[in-house]
Structure 1
Amino acid sequence: MTATRTRTFAVLGMLIVSLTWAAAMVCVAAPAGAVGAVAVVHRDATTPDLTEDESSFRMVFDDHPEIEEVWTYSPSMNRDIPLLVLPASVPNAPTLYLLNGVDGGVETNHWFGKGKAAELLADKGVNVVVPVDGANSYYTDWLSPSALDRPDRGGLTQQWATYLTEELPGPLEESLGANGTRAIVGMSMSATSALQLVEDNPGFYSAAAGLSGCYDTTSDQGRGMVDQVVAYPDTGATGEQMWGPVDGDYAQAHDPLNRVADLRAEVQGSQIPLYFSAANAVPNDEEATALPEMGDPTEMTLSYSAGAALEAGSLHCTQQLEQALTAEGVPATIDYLPRGLHSWATFPVSLEAAWPTLARGLFG
């Protein structure tokens, strides 16, 4: 890979993550590891034995030294998973889970790096939790083994939904002195994940947001994009390993677009605040400044083209979701940003815009 393509990798990764699509209301259980077990949480130790790539998220947070690396262990996946956590400045606070994109948060491509989450949320009275793992995973429970399981280290079939909803919240939130109220935000690839998790776990989340995402996973176009995301750039993983045949019950149950009826108040227990956004694929001020600074015209063209194309796709997907929500009578805040590519210059703008909606659910 050339230097130009290497520098463009993160942008393309975030972008390709965006285009995912829709389906049904069938509930099917995936095979799991240690059923009923909870995560082991170490707030006093960093995660051991990470590869250089896996530990590349580590950085010095000069302005927010209160950000912690938390080492957790998932029984269902037999896997150590690092988190970055910003504890709330007040006791008995709610918890906001922020999911990363296709690369899982390598280098500074995570919410506390380029995502500016600490700057946006440090004074909001909320615990902020960012898993820095899960590349290409859709943060879902996979049906079949894949190379993403880390089999060389004894890893089991990926069970990210189990980890995020059954294993992690109890012990982590207890250690933080949290109050049991939580919300979830996904961007790009994980916007799909966030919506799936809310639909699959009625009453578990009090608010949710999907930023620059897609929500159809079973149409020809949707499964095609899923296959590209899980394989990017050369993992060898497939959508069929994750959710089985596209016309199967498990795949249909993981198509959030066609399950928006599960967001109704009568299913969730109350009408939870929902926020979805996409930009119009025109560079915002930060992007317009950053693109020429790349210097290499080829790199600039690649970054702009990828960012514009994928955010245009996200815009279409968000409009598609808005139509489905309207048809089912599910209220949501839909925000179309006047400028922005599919990049870390746009995602923080979307998170800031989402905060009032999230706060309604977190604080009532």
Structure 2
Amino acid sequence: MRFGRAAAPSGNRSQRRGAPRGWRHRILAVGAAALALPIAAGAAAPTMATAAPAAVSGPALRTPSGGLEDLMVPSSMGPIKVQVQWAARGGNAALYLLDGLRARDDRNAWSFETNALAQFANDNISLIMPVGGQSSFYTDWYAPSNTNGQKTTYKWETFLTKELPAFLEGYGVSSKNNAVAGLSMGGSAALALAAYHREQFKAAASYSGYLNISAPGMREAIRIAMLDAGRFNVDSMASPWSPQWLRMDPFVFAPQLRGLPMYISAASGLPGQFDQPNSAIGVFNTGNAMALEALSLVNTRAFQARLGSLGIAAAFDFPGSGTHSWKYWEAELAKSRQMFLDATGGN
């Protein structure tokens, strides 16, 4: 694991290292409870990093082509662990992969719940997988959560759009040739980052995201989910229907997505090929995953209509079966892979 910024290579190492009642009301009510379903268990926080020296010019360190490396990146929140699979041929493009509500503190779930690393192993694009940020929605909060003793204020937008890209430039990764994708919590966040930072992100994808968070019942559903996932308080993130809350809502900021290549998906919630429960807990988890995906589908269909009313193009995928679980997101990542490569030149 590397700490701080890279140093220039030494010796002859030229290779770089390194609402209304009825069915909708019932779906929202079930979804409010189901949003608490764990996506991945929590783990210990990363260790402290050393202070970063001056920025590096010239060749940058990377692991061998396609190699995976853990970096500790300084930030206003303290050192943040970031897993990186470097571009196969030293290219400067990057795809940021955002985690779900129960983002762990040891690994980004894209790195072990899916075959994302293998999907991009031969591509000239680095996978950037930030670790942590449970219940953060990858945004800048205005205060630490007052329901769990949080010591620092989440500043994930600042980290992902300023601190991290500046750090990665020391490794030869461009801060202006990126794409971003996320699932569930990370889905709406991916679209928000791309909408407000078009100079950084050239394409974005949301898989089973919640893209109409100001709809009736959604804030209450998110409140319940965040309390269950680390006892975080949604009011510390953004006050009800404040400018900050509306800024997070894809339905609201949709006009700012015009011209951005987008891939957006949500399945039906009906069990599919990856749902094979063989125990009581398995049946319970599948039921929760069904409700989560049904709620995402309602949100995503509303967002599709919103983009249509604005005349904004996007690629949508609505599989006839599939629940709120990783193997389905793995498949959606594969479907959107070429969009990321085309947008960044990472082929």
**TM-score with structure 2 length normalisation?**
0.78
Q: Match for 1:276 among 256, 264, 278? A: 264
Q: Which residue of 1 aligns with 2:122?
A: 123
* 4+ long deviations beyond 4 Å: 106-109, 147-151
Query: 1:345, CA displacement in angstroms?
Result: 1.6
In structure 2, C-alpha distance between the alignment counterparts of 1:140 and 1:220, rounded to whole Å: 22
Code of the aligned partner of 1:259: F
Q: Does structure 2 conserve the Cα–Cα contact (< 8 Å) formed by 1:243 and 1:254? A: no
Query: 1:203, CA displacement in angstroms?
Result: 2.8
Q: Aligned in 2, Cα 1:105/1:351: closer, same or farther, shift over 3 Å?
A: farther
Which of the pair has the greater relative contact order for Cα pairs under 8 Å at 6+ separation?
A: 1
In structure 1, C-alpha distance between the alignment counterparts of 2:289 and 2:323, rounded to whole Å: 5
The 5-angstrom pairing of residues 202-213 of structure 1 reads 202-213=198-209
In structure 2, C-alpha distance between the alignment counterparts of 1:147 and 1:74, rounded to whole Å: 22
Q: Does structure 2 conserve the Cα–Cα contact (< 8 Å) formed by 1:149 and 1:156? A: no
In angstroms, what is the RMSD of aligned CA positions?
A: 2.7
Query: 1:177, CA displacement in angstroms?
Result: 4.4
Code of the aligned partner of 2:237: M
Q: Aligned in 2, Cα 1:176/1:249: closer, same or farther, shift over 3 Å?
A: same
Code of the aligned partner of 1:175: Y
In structure 2, C-alpha distance between the alignment counterparts of 1:100 and 1:308, rounded to whole Å: 19
Q: Which residue of 2 aligns with 1:31?
A: none
1:54-88 superposed Cα distances (whole Å, 9 cap, x missing partner): xxxxxxxxxx982111111212x2x1211111001
1:233-281 superposed Cα distances (whole Å, 9 cap, x missing partner): 4x3322211011x2322222222212100112xxxxxx22100001122
In structure 2, C-alpha distance between the alignment counterparts of 1:67 and 1:175, rounded to whole Å: 14
Q: Which residue of 1 aligns with 2:233?
A: 238
Q: Which residue of 2 aligns with 1:28?
A: none
Query: 1:109, CA displacement in angstroms?
Result: 6.6
In structure 2, C-alpha distance between the alignment counterparts of 1:362 and 1:263, rounded to whole Å: 17
1:80-118 superposed Cα distances (whole Å, 9 cap, x missing partner): 211111001112330000000011136777001012211
Structure 1, unmatched stretches of 5+, are 1-8, 16-45, 51-63, 265-270
1:310-359 superposed Cα distances (whole Å, 9 cap, x missing partner): 11111111111110111111110001123211111211011111112222
The 5-angstrom pairing of residues 1-364 of structure 1 reads 12-14=37-39, 47-48=46-47, 66-75=67-76, 77=77, 79-105=78-104, 110-146=109-145, 151=150, 155-178=151-174, 180-233=176-229, 235-244=230-239, 246-264=240-258, 271-288=259-276, 291-292=277-278, 296=279, 298-363=280-345
Q: Aligned in 2, Cα 1:164/1:324: closer, same or farther, shift over 3 Å?
A: same
Indicate the percent of aligned positions where both proteins have the same amino acid: 26
Query: 1:184, CA displacement in angstroms?
Result: 0.3
Q: Aligned in 2, Cα 1:11/1:156: closer, same or farther, shift over 3 Å?
A: closer
Structure 2, unmatched stretches of 5+, are 1-33, 50-64
**TM-score with structure 1 length normalisation?**
0.74
In structure 2, C-alpha distance between the alignment counterparts of 1:11 and 1:238, rounded to whole Å: 13
Code of the aligned partner of 2:218: G
